[in-house]
Structures are given as structure tokens and as C-alpha cells.
Chains A and B, each alone.
Chain A
Amino acid sequence: MKFASLVKNRKALIGLILFGITVVVSLFPGLFASQSDADVIGAFAPNLGPSTAHLLGTTSYGEDIFSQLVFGARQVLVIALAAGGFATVLSVLIGITAAYLGGVVDEFLSLITNVVLILPTFPLMIILARYAGTSNWVMIFVLVATGWSYGANQMRAQALSLRNRDFLEAARVRGERRAYVILFEMMPTMTSLIVANFLGSALYSVLAASGLQFIGLGNRSSDSWGTMLYWADSQEALQAGNAMWIIAPGLAIAVLSAAFALMNYAFDEIGNPALRPVRRKDVRRAKKGAAALEEKGAGHDAYVEAV
């Protein structure tokens, strides 16, 4: 997987840019927010409309919506990256162990994976989050506990197909230890699947975490986007005519998940060229090449090849 091919793919580029913006905002919120603390209740008049002083207006508690949005970026991003990362590590560990060791271990691990895969995830998350408290670490734990199984199945399938390849056999004959074979021989060949899996888990974490926060199961005193929606909903922002309070955080969630989704889909396209969009330019170039070949009298086969 080359970085250049990521940049050349338009979907990947857009995803990368959106993701980059979120990262910058979450690293340096002070540069963008008009306030250093967005949670001072009654700092301004409530339910103000958008203006130069308050780009997106204020909440019914008199907080600046734009500042809350800026400070919320870090929360969502940390949850997405941490939960996505841990879930991916867990999927890789379980999937590869199952495939590599085989036998009873495989049977057992596959059974657990399939059970977790089938359990109704969101209801389970609601129950876990409701009873385990509301810190971000609990949220990450809940997301990892319910989100690793899909990836583990994919890892297992891929690792199974690699298991009897010659280069692994060679490593075993060289007398390498099992951990070495798995970590340094097997894993590098699975990089693209692992990255795609990470993007998918991060995307899932953004959406699921925001959903849980939206129904009040997140840390309610923090500025995350889902929590902003929770307060907007419970303060009846729709009826109060404060549309921005609802539009802004939801749009932010949508943009971040679009970033992960676009990168993920682009990964699929790069890995499977058949899925790539057919560009007009390419079609024209192919026709021109075909015409040139035909002039040379290269015959029908070459024509078909070129098109």
C-alpha cells in the first residue's frame, strides 16, 4: 500500500483531508474556539442566533455552540482512535491465533467470535454503558467489547489462507519461534486488511459512541458531539427554534464518519481495481491507443486488450 496511491484516489484524499482537519482542531482547540472554556453556564444570553460573536449561536444555557463543537472534536477522536485501535489489536490477536494454532483452540475462539458477532450489539452496549458508568474509558471498553468480532473473523480467514504458504514454511524450517513467525512473517502481509479493519472500527466507534451519548449514556458534563445532541434534544432545541444546536454537532459527527468511511472504501478500491470508478479520460486514452494499434495493423486481439 503506497501513500501515493492513497492521495491519487479522490475518495481517499477527501477522507484524509476531513480527518486531518478534525485532528488539527482537536490538537489545538484554542486556535479556533472563541472561548477557553465552553462549559460556563450563563456566559452569554441563551438561544442567540448565529452572529459574528457566536458563529453558531448559543445554547439555551447560554454557552457558545461553536466553542463546544471545537472542544468536542478531541473527545470523539480519542474514543474513535482508541476504541478502533484496541478492537483491531484484539481482532488480529484472536483471528490469527485461531487460524495459526488450529484444532481445539480454533474451535473455541471461533465459537466465541461468532457468539459476540450475533449478540444484538446496540442493546448490549446500552445495557453495559448504563450500568458501568459514564467515563470515556467505559465507553471505549464497551465499544471494544462489542466491536472486535467482525474483524476477528476476517483476520482468521485471511490468516488461514496464508497458513501453508512457502515463506511461512521456510521460516518454520529455519527454526524461528512461533511469535516471530506470526509477528514478522505473517502480519506484514496482512497490513492492508489490518488498516482497513482499523478504519472500519473507528467509523463504527464514532457512530456508536455518539449514539450512546445522544441517549444520555455518555459523560454528560463533557463537550462531545453526541452529548451536545443529548442536551439539545432534552432542552427541546427543535421547538425552541434553535436549529443550529442540532444541526452543528450532528454534521460534525457525519463529517468525521464520512472521513473514515471514504478512506475505508478507497482502501477497498485500491485493493480491488475492478471497483475503481471508470474515468472518461481513461476511456478516451484507451480508445486512442486502440486506434493507434489498429493503424499499425496489430489485429483484433490487441484491440480488445487495449480497450
Chain B
Amino acid sequence: MRFVVRRLSMFLFTLWAAMTLNFFIPRFMPGNPVQALQARIRVKESPAALASILSSFGYKPNAGLVPQYLTYLKDMLTGQWGASIGLSLGEPVRDIILQAAPWTLGLIGLTTVVAFALGNVAGIVAGWRRGGTLDSWLPSTLVVTANLPYYWVGMLLILLFATTLNWLPPDFNYDPTILPGFSPGFIGSVLQHAVLPAFTLLVTSIGGWILTMRNNMITTVAEDYVRMARAKGLADRKIMFGYAARNAMLPNISGFAMSLGFVLSGSVLVEYVFNYPGLGYQLLNAVDNNDYPLMQVLFMLYTVAVLVALLAADFFMVWLDPRAREKG
């Protein structure tokens, strides 16, 4: 019980810190939404007039900082996220998020799960067959691929498969000439547009999983209970998955939750390169245009996503691993 309370209070504190940072950083720095609007519309309009346009969407620069902050906290938590004061002026932030989220979840979420699964299996095999062909060249290669700049890999793929070979589309999430719906044409188009960004993420993220899993495996294979299983004459496959891999996986589960933050981060650049209209793309738009409401909500959602994943991993670990239960 003490464990649960501790974790939950940590959760709330982090959320509060994230929201507070995101409120104060933009407001204490040069530039404001009115200037951004002025730069965007290129019409000679007095700042006061522009400010009054923005204030009709809920932008109140003249209210005191403390009351602003308190209403901000309340609105964020109750889901009254207001309207965009940036690129899509006046559109409810909730709608923007609901439009963008499925694309990010579908692309980034699926790719991450696939990378995690494939990477772990490859790592198990590489660690088990110590000194085999797979194990001898794999680590050096992966150390390099795991640290390639995401966005540059994306650009290279565009260069090769879109610009040169013309096999796949270079940007956007689907062909705008096709009406969205459950038609084979539309689904095909969505998949076609997802191939390159998904492959970009896969190439750069799978290496880390293989390496950590391989290294965990190597440590686990040396344990006495694995030798015991061998002595019992169990089948290799059974020892590999049922004895060694099962224990070697444990650190990777919290690693998976932790990596969600990195994945979300990386996805911002991938969405930027491919003009893929997901959450990361919206975040860059919001930052570019001083769209405080959209920026705040996105940043809060990112934090919540990581926190929820971490909490889930924590409880999952406690359920899986008796040693963790003992400690809690």
C-alpha cells in the first residue's frame, strides 16, 4: 500500500511540475501570440486589434500571472482545453488532438510494439547463441544503427524510395484525392503512406532492444538455474524461453515504459520529415506560432503518456517478479 501511495504522489508531483514549466517558460520568454499572428497574416492591423481577436478565443495576457496560472491548472485537469490561437485559429484544441492522435498512436504505437517484440526475440537468440555468426557481427552494427539521426534516415528513405524509385509517397498520411472511409483504396493509401516513416522508426529503434536483451541474456544464461535446467535435460528451446529469457526480459519491461518518452520525442522529427499530421507535427506548429493552449495540452498529454506507462510497468513488474513485491 505504501508503495502505491508513493508512486501515485510521485506521479502527481511530476505532472504538476511539467504543467508548471510549460506554463511559465513561454510566458517569460520573448515573443508572444500577437506577434506570431501578425507575422502570419501579413496584414497591417494594430496589435490591439489582433489582441482583441485572440482574447475572443480565450487569450488574456493582461490578467495577473497567478490567476492565469490557477485557471490554467484547473482548465487543463478538467479537460476545458480552449481554442487554438495559432495556425488553426479558433479551432477547439480537443478537436485538433482528436484528429492528430490516431495517426501518431497508429504509426508510432504500432511501430514501437513491433520493434520491441522483434528486437527482444532477436536479442534472445543472439544472447543464447553466444559466439555464433549472428552474435559476432550484430552488436557492432547495432551500436551504429541505434544511434543514427532518425530524421536523416527518413530523408534518405525518401530520397531512395520516393524521389528516385517513385515506389512510395514521400509525405502526408493518405492520398487526399481518396475519400476517407473503410474502403480498400483508402486503407491501402494509409498503409502506403505509413511504410517509410514506420521503417525509419523501426531501423533506428530496434537496435537498442536487441542490444539490451542480448546483454541481459548473456548475464542470465550464466545463472545457476539455467545450468540446473540443462542438467535436468530439458529441451534447449524450453530453457531459452522458459528459464533464461523469462528473467532476462524483466529489466526490459520498465525499459519499454521509459523508452516511450524517447519514442514520442523521436516521432516529432519523423512526423516533421514526412509531414505526417500527428501529435508531434502539431507540437511543432504550436511552438512555431506561440499557440499556448495547444502547446500546453500536448505537453501535458506527453507527460501523462509516459507516467501512465511507467506506472503500468511498475505494477506489472510487481505482479511478475516476487522480488519486486518483497521490496514494495
**A214 vs B272: C-alpha distance when bound (angstroms):** 10
Cβ of A132 within 8 Å of any chain B Cβ, yes or no, is: yes
* Chain B residues, CB < 8 A from A127: 22, 25-26, 287, 295, 299
* Chain B residues, CB < 8 A from A128: 25
Residue ID in chain A nearest B284 by CB atoms: A215
Q: B156 contacts A239, CB within 8 Å?
A: no
* Chain A residues, CB < 8 A from B151: 211, 214, 229
Cβ of B283 within 8 Å of any chain A Cβ, yes or no, is: yes
| A128-B25, A247-B156, A274-B219 known; A123+B302 contact, CB < 8 A | yes
Cβ of B306 within 8 Å of any chain A Cβ, yes or no, is: yes
- The listed residue (B148, B266, B268) touching A254 by CB distance below 8 A is B148
Q: B136 contacts A238, CB within 8 Å?
A: no
Q: B18 contacts A119, CB within 8 Å?
A: yes
Chain B CB count within 10 A is highest, among A11, A130, A247, for A130
Cβ of A224 within 8 Å of any chain B Cβ, yes or no, is: no
- The listed residue (A119, A120, A207, A274) touching B149 by CB distance below 8 A is A207
Q: B10 contacts A114, CB within 8 Å?
A: yes
Interface size on A (CB < 8 Å)? 48
- The listed residue (A121, A132, A261, A268) touching B147 by CB distance below 8 A is A261
Distance in angstroms from B286 CB to nearest chain A CB is 9
**A71 vs B159: C-alpha distance when bound (angstroms):** 25
Q: A120 contacts B302, CB within 8 Å?
A: yes
- The listed residue (B29, B215, B266, B288) touching A132 by CB distance below 8 A is B29
**A11 vs B26: C-alpha distance when bound (angstroms):** 43
How would you classify the secondary structure of chain B's contact residues: helix, strand, loop or mixed? helix
Q: Which of A44-52, A86-94, A275-283, A295-303 lines the interface with chain B? A: A275-283
The digit string for B125-152, where 1 denotes a CB below 8 A from any CB of A, is 0000011000110011001101111111
Residue ID in chain A nearest B261 by CB atoms: A120
| A118-B261, A275-B218 known; A250+B155 contact, CB < 8 A | yes
* Chain B residues, CB < 8 A from A137: none
Q: B149 contacts A118, CB within 8 Å?
A: no
Residue ID in chain B nearest A258 by CB atoms: B144
* Chain A residues, CB < 8 A from B135: 277-278
| A115-B14, A131-B25, A277-B139 known; A238+B155 contact, CB < 8 A | yes
The digit string for A122-138, where 1 denotes a CB below 8 A from any CB of B, is 11101110111100000
| A115-B17, A119-B17 known; A211+B269 contact, CB < 8 A | yes
**A242 vs B18: C-alpha distance when bound (angstroms):** 42
* Chain B residues, CB < 8 A from A132: 29
- The listed residue (B10, B170, B266) touching A122 by CB distance below 8 A is B266
* Chain A residues, CB < 8 A from B13: 111, 115
**A131 vs B30: C-alpha distance when bound (angstroms):** 6
**A194 vs B310: C-alpha distance when bound (angstroms):** 27
Cβ of B97 within 8 Å of any chain A Cβ, yes or no, is: no
* Chain B residues, CB < 8 A from A261: 143-144, 146-147
Distance in angstroms from B191 CB to nearest chain A CB is 23
| A121-B265, A124-B21, A126-B268 known; A283+B287 contact, CB < 8 A | no
| A257-B148, A265-B143 known; A123+B299 contact, CB < 8 A | yes
The digit string for A147-166, where 1 denotes a CB below 8 A from any CB of B, is 00000000000000000000
Cβ of A210 within 8 Å of any chain B Cβ, yes or no, is: yes
- The listed residue (A120, A233, A250) touching B306 by CB distance below 8 A is A120
* Chain A residues, CB < 8 A from B269: 122, 211, 214-215
Residue ID in chain A nearest B155 by CB atoms: A246
| A126-B283, A211-B151 known; A120+B299 contact, CB < 8 A | yes
Chain B CB count within 10 A is highest, among A118, A210, A278, A283, for A118
The digit string for A205-217, where 1 denotes a CB below 8 A from any CB of B, is 0010011001100
User: Given A120-B18, A127-B25, list of 6 further CB < 8 A pairs?
Assistant: A11-B143, A114-B10, A115-B14, A207-B149, A238-B158, A262-B143
B residues apposed to A, CB below 8 Å? 10, 13-14, 17-18, 21-22, 25-26, 28-31, 130-131, 135-136, 139-140, 143-144, 146-152, 155-156, 158-159, 163, 170, 211, 215, 218-219, 222, 261-262, 264-266, 268-269, 272-273, 283-284, 287-288, 295, 298-299, 302-303, 306-307, 310
19 contacts across the A-B interface (CB closer than 8 A): A10-B140, A120-B261, A126-B287, A127-B299, A128-B25, A131-B26, A203-B147, A207-B147, A211-B150, A214-B149, A214-B151, A238-B155, A238-B170, A247-B156, A250-B155, A265-B211, A275-B215, A275-B218, A278-B130
